[in-house]
Amino acid sequence: MPITQRSTTLADGRELIYFDDADSTLGPERSIDRRVLDPRPGTARMRQDVLTGEWVSIASNRQNRVFLPPADQDPLAPQSPANPSEIPSNYDVAVFENRSPSFGPDLEHPDAPAGLDDLSAIGIERTRASVGRCEVVCFAPEHEGSFGSQTVSRARTVIEAWARRTEALSRMPGIEQVFVFENRGQEIGVTLPHPHGQIYAYPFITPRTSTLLRSVDAVGPDLFARILESEQAGPRVLAQTEHFTAFVPFAARWPLEIHLLPHRHVPDLAGLTEAEKDDLAPLYRRLLRGLDAIYDSPTPYIAAWHQAPVNAGRDAVRLMLQVTSPRRAADRLKYLAGSEAAMGAFIGDVAPESQAAVLRAAIEKADQS
CB–CB of 111/62 below 8 Å? no
Three-class secondary structure of residue 52 per DSSP:
coil
Q: Which of 109, 143, 194, 196 is catalytic?
A: 196
Question: Cα separation of 159 and 139, whole Å?
Answer: 10
Asked if 175 and 41 touch (Cβ cutoff 8 Å), the reply is no
Amino acid at 170: S
Q: Give, in order, the Cα–Cα distances in Å from 279 to each of 70, 276, 287.
A: 36, 5, 13
Task: Number of helices (H) and strands (E) in the chain: give both, helices first.
Answer: 6, 16
The helix (run of H) or strand (run of E) holding residue 213 is: helix 207-219
Q: Are 184 and 303 in contact (CB under 8 A)?
A: yes
Other C-beta atoms closer than 10 Å to the C-beta of 269 total 25
Please name the amino acid found at residue 126: R
Helical H segments across 238-351, by residue range: 274-292, 343
- Let me know if 196 is a catalytic residue: yes
Give the phi and the psi of residue 170 in degrees, each rounded to 5.
-65, -25
Distance, in Å, from the CA atom of 295 to the CA atom of 69, rounded to the nearest integer, reads 26
Q: Which residues does 244 contact at the CB level (< 8 Å), separation at least 6?
A: 260, 261, 262, 263, 276, 279, 280, 283
Q: How far is CA 103 from the centre of its chain?
A: 15
Nearest to 67 by CA among 96, 100, 94: 100
Within 10 Å of residue 311's Cβ, how many Cβ atoms? 11
Distance CA 169, CA 31 (A): 25
- Among 163, 140, 182, CA closest to 323: 182
Name the residues annotated as catalytic: 196
